[in-house]
Structure 1
Amino acid sequence: MTIASIMVSLDLGAAAAARVRLAASLAQRFEATLAGVAARKIPNPGPGEDLETIQAAYNEEQAKLGEELRRCRDIFEQNCGTGIRTHWQQAEADAASFLVRQALAADIVIVGREQDDRAGDTAASPGAVLMEAGRPVLMTPPGSDHLKAERIVIAWKDAPEARRAVSAALPFIRRAKQVYVVSAGEEARFDGAEQVTEFLGRHGAQVVTHLLNATARDVADEILQFTTREDADLVVMGGYGRSRLREWLFGGVTREFLQISSVCCLMSH
């Protein structure tokens, strides 16, 4: 597996520029094309407004939308550097939904860890993108502008989502200096971590297994502490969740990583 096409989500938040620089460095490393994507939906008019008022409000929102998307494109172009192939996509649409549609042409989609209040409606919800894109999603914490991925932690749980995440991460894993397959919880020793270690070894990875004692409530914290101790900067894991009337309900570990992870996370649903 190779990475030939990378897609990065743009918004007006403080972390957007660093996210583009990280995406551009990965595009250069893998000799991939980098696509910048931004969108925002124009809000519906309020109830009871007359046609003239509605048209005036729409024109105002159209002008605001054009300006915000122009600023997003400026952030992209000013931070993606030189020497890589790039292209830009924008639309009047829901940010997450548009990114999901464009993701059919990407090997990996890069999003921010959490929405910044200053990003406004141009910010794509990382949870929605993870659940709907059908592509591996690299979630970056605020301020992270480079990903060495020399030391990688695989947060292993034997489920289809984790298996897909490991497969998606192989281009990173093959280049890493050290990979840790970490399984946490009371049933960790029965979860197949040793088999995953053996599998990755066949792909040339320098890989070891670690089993961590943790209650179900503490799994995310234990994995993050392990990641810090081993000076790793990438966690690979499955993203577990489901939809209830378009509201995403995430499992505990996925939810915590979406909210608090201080390192990049490569997740697959």
Structure 2
Amino acid sequence: MSYASIVVSLDTGPETGDRVRLAADLARRFEATLTGVAARRVPAPAAVNDFRDAEAIFAREEARLREELAQVRAAFEREAGEGVPTAWCSAAAHALAVLVQQARSADLVVVGRPGSGDADPGEMGVEPGPVLMEAGRPVLVVPPGIDRLRAARVVVAWKDRPEARRAVSGALPFITAADQVFVATAGAEARFEGAEDVAGHLARHGAHVTAHFLTCHARSAADEILRFAERQDADLVVMGAYGHSRLREWMFGGATHDALRTAPLCLLMSH
């Protein structure tokens, strides 16, 4: 199994270049096509005197959007570099809706998460949570300041739920190529979650894998997994995304989506 098509979400924020470089490197590694996606709505005119005023304002906003999209596309093509088949999708529409639409023909969706001091990426930016809930594809969430993902050491945050099973399936290209894979569960019921079975399954795929049962000393199972990943010098955690699309939030064990928003390494997640 490999990734033949990777989609990366773009915006006008400061981390877009890093995210494109990371996604392009993955596309080279997996010999995949990389599609850049950027979109935002044209704001409706407000407080206008008549139809002609509204039409003129709308035309100016359309021109501004075209200019923004041209700048983002130029950055995408520049940062993607050579040796990667690329495609481009842009639209005057809601950014999330366009990205989810493009996800139907993708094996992997790459999105960023903002840092605490990052500027607002505007309406082109998408939050990871809604993408996870609606894309129906594995989503790679890239934290600020990371422009490369080696994935030589991968932690699978295992919980015996459908979301985690889908995450493992979606991450198989990374898992089978990794030098070492750690299937980890945390909490009092960890030994009953089936981590050893999952490790055996991944070993049959050719992965170099071990199972680990963690006592939960952190505030949540998710935090314990992230601490374990740091000790193992991993740069990718594979985990299910648990939650409710209506509320645009999810949990891992007892943790809130804050764990995802502050994780210092890439997370590959599926809902």
TM-score tier by shorter-chain length is over 0.9
Runs of at least 5 residues in structure 2 that lack an aligned partner in the other structure = none
Shift of 1:99: 0.3
Contact (CA 8 Å) 1:15, 1:143: kept in 2 or not? yes
Q: How do 1:201-216 residues align onto structure 2 when only pairs under 5 Å count?
A: 201-214=203-216
Contact (CA 8 Å) 2:130, 2:245: kept in 1 or not? no
Higher helix share: 1
> How far apart in 2 are the matches of 1:180 and 1:153?
5
Shift of 1:47: 6.1
List, as ranges, runs of 4+ consecutive aligned residues in structure 1 with deviation greater than 4 Å.
none
Shift of 1:185: 1.4
1:189 aligns with one of 187, 191, 213: 191
Contact (CA 8 Å) 1:114, 1:126: kept in 2 or not? no
The number of aligned residues is 267
Q: TM-score, normalised by structure 1?
A: 0.94
Contact (CA 8 Å) 2:217, 2:224: kept in 1 or not? no
> How far apart in 2 are the matches of 1:239 and 1:109?
14
Identity value in percent = 55
Helix, strand or coil at the partner of 2:8: strand
> How far apart in 1 are the matches of 2:199 and 2:125?
37
Residue type of the alignment partner of 1:264: C
> How far apart in 2 are the matches of 1:52 and 1:144?
47
Shift of 1:48: 7.0
The reply on whether 1:106 has 2:106 as its aligned counterpart is yes
Q: TM-score, normalised by structure 2?
A: 0.94
Deviates more, 1:39-48 or 1:201-210: 39-48
Deviates more, 1:213-222 or 1:75-84: 213-222
> How far apart in 2 are the matches of 1:7 and 1:44?
29
Residue type of the alignment partner of 1:20: V
Q: How do 1:75-224 residues align onto structure 2 when only pairs under 5 Å count?
A: 75-114=75-114, 116-214=118-216, 217-224=219-226
The reply on whether 1:235 has 2:240 as its aligned counterpart is no
Residue number in structure 2 paired with 1:45: 45
Contact (CA 8 Å) 2:218, 2:224: kept in 1 or not? no
Shift of 1:217: 4.1
Change (3 A) 1:56 1:191: same
Change (3 A) 1:55 1:258: farther
Q: What is the CA deviation profile of residues 106-133 of structure 1, one whole-angstrom value per residue up to 9, with x for unaligned ones?
A: 1000000237534111112211111101
Change (3 A) 1:213 1:63: same
Q: What is the CA deviation profile of residues 136-155 of structure 1, one whole-angstrom value per residue up to 9, with x for unaligned ones?
A: 10110111110000000001
Residue number in structure 1 paired with 2:69: 69
CA RMSD of aligned residues (A): 1.7
